Amino acid sequence: MANDLPFIDPTRGGSKTQLARAPRPMDLAGMTVGLLDNTKEQADIILETIGTALREKYGVAEVIMRRKGYYSRPAPAELINDMANKVQVAIAAVGG
């Protein structure tokens, strides 16, 4: 127990509070899908392919693609907020 230690233990992250996952729909028919391109190589081709396939085979109504300024950097809150107002599901590519 931490209270038994004769010194301070500054360790973090032991029991990270888990967030609630967004509830999932039954399917994607009629939905607007957001695609977030982090500008890393191949991300655009991957996301265009996904967008086309989702429209053609899964009944997705609309695809909104957004490109970040730099890869390796988290998307600004404004960009996420803007997409979250317009889409029902989102896919980000390409990680790394």
* Positions 15 through 74 that interact with another protein (CB under 8 A): 16-19, 21-28, 34, 36, 38, 41-42, 45-46, 49-50, 53-54, 57-58, 68, 70-74
Peptide bond into 63 cis (omega under 30): no
Determine which residue in the list 55, 62, 65, 92 makes contact with another protein, applying CB under 8 A.
Answer: 92
Asked if residue 90 binds another protein (CB under 8 A), the reply is yes
d(CA 76, CA 47): 20
Check residue 78 for interaction with another protein (CB under 8 A): no
> Does the protein bind another protein through residue 96 (CB under 8 A)?
yes
Residue type, 79: L
CB within 8 Å of 43: residues ≥ 6 apart: 37, 71, 93, 94
Beta bridge partners of 37: 67, 93
What is the spatial distance between Cα 21 and Cα 30, in angstroms, rounded to a whole number?
22
Residues binding another protein (CB under 8 A)? 4-13, 16-19, 21-28, 34, 36, 38, 41-42, 45-46, 49-50, 53-54, 57-58, 68, 70-75, 77, 80-81, 83-84, 87-96
